[in-house]
Structure 1
């Protein structure tokens, strides 16, 4: 039986309220999408940096917790490359290092034309507590 990551992470109310959906997840990997709407705009009419950070952070959370141990961010940074105002944004999180207590992940945010919008790097502390996944 496969683990049902989607069912577990759909419980993230903050991501859901920001229009973020989990597309795919596997151990050390996640992809999430957000359809841009006017609720994501800042005062100059482009997607708010906080909305981009939230999208990246969600993909980061799914990838880092996908091994079944509770993983909590201890460091995160983001660089913005291109402003955007419409379309679907995709955040792809990939694990680059993992040991007993720490994990580090890169998240690339792209637009529908696969152009880079932002780059996020985060590190988690891996607790001994378990994430409970449903089997599908």
Structure 2
């Protein structure tokens, strides 16, 4: 099973929030989400936690694509503009450092017009065990 298939099947929180991985390779990963009414905050724009969840899924796909279980240990998000109901968001994570223990990535979340919504940097801790459910790697 690929990391894309595995995370789309097992990351229930991301799936329940409408997030899905559509691309993964050793250098980048892409996750998408359409902003729905349930993503909106009191200001009638997409809630920051929904944006973070989308970016975090892309980070997880990229950091875990090599088959070793990797958890996020530090992430920072910078909100640049608002996302609105109906926007189709794309989170593209790119590898900054694929260190064997402490990988780091950058994520750009954009809308359907390629407008930057937020920027996320992430760092992970890579364990020496295989991803549960994908032990053959």
| Aligned 8 A contact 1:28 1:64 in 2 | no
- For these two proteins, the number of residue pairs brought into alignment is 133
Q: 1:50-129 to 2 correspondence within 5 Å?
A: 50-86=49-85, 87-129=87-129
Change (3 A) 1:134 1:52: farther
| Aligned 8 A contact 1:5 1:133 in 2 | no
Q: Normalising by the residue count of structure 2, what TM-score does the alignment of the two structures yield?
A: 0.92
| Structure with the larger RCO, 1 or 2 (CA within 8 Å, 6+ apart) | 1
Q: Normalising by the residue count of structure 1, what TM-score does the alignment of the two structures yield?
A: 0.92
Map of 2:20 onto structure 1? 21
- Structure 2 CA distance, aligned partners of 1:97 and 1:118? 21
State the Cα RMSD in Å.
1.6
Change (3 A) 1:88 1:74: same
| Runs of 4+ off more than 4 Å | none
Change (3 A) 1:47 1:26: same
Deviation at 1:110, TM superposition (A): 0.1
Change (3 A) 1:103 1:35: same
- Structure 2 CA distance, aligned partners of 1:133 and 1:43? 43
- Structure 1 CA distance, aligned partners of 2:22 and 2:136? 17
Q: Which runs of 5+ in 2 are unaligned?
A: none
Q: Residue 46 of structure 1 aligns to a residue in which SS?
A: coil
Q: Which runs of 5+ in 1 are unaligned?
A: none
| Aligned 8 A contact 1:8 1:133 in 2 | no
